[in-house]
Structure 1
Amino acid sequence: MDATTRRGAEAARAANGPGVHDFGLLIKAATRLEQRIETALRRECGIGHSMFEVLIRLCRQPGEEVSQRELADDLTLTSSGITRLVDRMEEAGLVVRVPAPGDRRSVLVEPTDHGQTVFLQAAAVHAQVVDRYFVNPLSRADYTRLTSSLGQIHEALREG
């Protein structure tokens, strides 16, 4: 066996390894679920998943002051990315920007009444899609093990 054939065989073993395969399944499942959620939210509520994520963050603690910078960090967006997203949401009447008390450089983002109404509708749509494709295909015990394992992975990534 020549070097090229050996390297090809090694590459094939690496590409078909269990870690590559299993992680690929996770990414494919997450991507397809994200696509299903995105499609349903756009069709039923007129918003995308990113807007839904902003509304989740803003509605989680009523009355909490959330800066645009905090939103960017929470959603892992750049400052220009969150600015464009909040611009679109403001144009749609979902959020308003208000000056931060005591900090002229900071801007707070708050949901509007319309934004809260859209969020409640979107939360119901999101729950239906998640139940159908993430919860229902598994037994209760398997679902509990999966979410526990995902929590452990999340913690390991935060620590590492």
Structure 2
Amino acid sequence: MAEEKRIERVQHVWVRLIRAHDNVVRKVEAAVKAKGLPPIEWYDVLLELSREGGRKLRPVELEKELLVAQYNLSRLLDRMEAAGLVERLTCPGDGRGQMIQATPEGRAMQKRIWPSYREALEEHVAPDLSEKDLEQLAKLLGAIGGHLRPGGCGN
């Protein structure tokens, strides 16, 4: 009986977590889009490529950093390349392999998106939570996704 109660609680948490995620992502995406900026996925790609002073990543490495399915990432990179924000380079020692790198325009776009993204995050991610509540929420989410790399969204 106690196990069934726990399963019910876990299921309840799961549903609330997914609903909260969908709600916040939708609101943040809409706020950024309303400012005439590209989708937040573009920002996330540009942020990963700008870490450590700028880096080149294979698509599979970028896929792992972003937790995006390969087929979605390929189309996303195609659109970003067409917009001049990323470029594909031949991988040294592997003529068929590719590396992805942000262009100067891509780095500038990432810096341009960040203030609107930050504002949307502040408005839509737990706006009524205290600092203590935010710390507790981060701790709890960390316990759920402890295997994920910690990271910030800033530039």
Distance 1:120 1:108 in 2: 22
* Deviates most, 18-27 or 88-97: 18-27
Q: Is the 8 A contact 2:43 2:113 kept in 1?
A: yes
Q: Per-residue displacement from partner, 1:90-130 (whole Å, max 9, x unpaired)?
A: 11111111112222121111111211111112221111111
Distance 1:132 1:112 in 2: 30
Distance 1:57 1:76 in 2: 12
TM-score by length of 1: 0.78
Q: Which has the higher helix share?
A: 1
Cα 1:136–1:78 change in 2 (3 A) is closer
Which ranges in structure 2 are unaligned for 5 or more consecutive residues?
A: 150-155
Residue correspondences, number:
144
Pick the aligned partner of 1:147 from 119, 138, 141. Answer: 138
Partner of 1:48: 39
Q: Is the 8 A contact 2:37 2:113 kept in 1?
A: no
SS at match of 2:77: helix
Letter in 1 for 2:78: D
Distance 1:124 1:107 in 2: 31
What is the Cα-based RMSD across aligned positions, in Å?
2.3
Determine whether 1:20 maps to 2:27.
no
Partner of 1:64: 55
Partner of 1:109: 100
TM-score by length of 2: 0.81
Percent sequence identity over aligned pairs: 28
1:69-108 equivalences under 5 Å are: 69-108=60-99
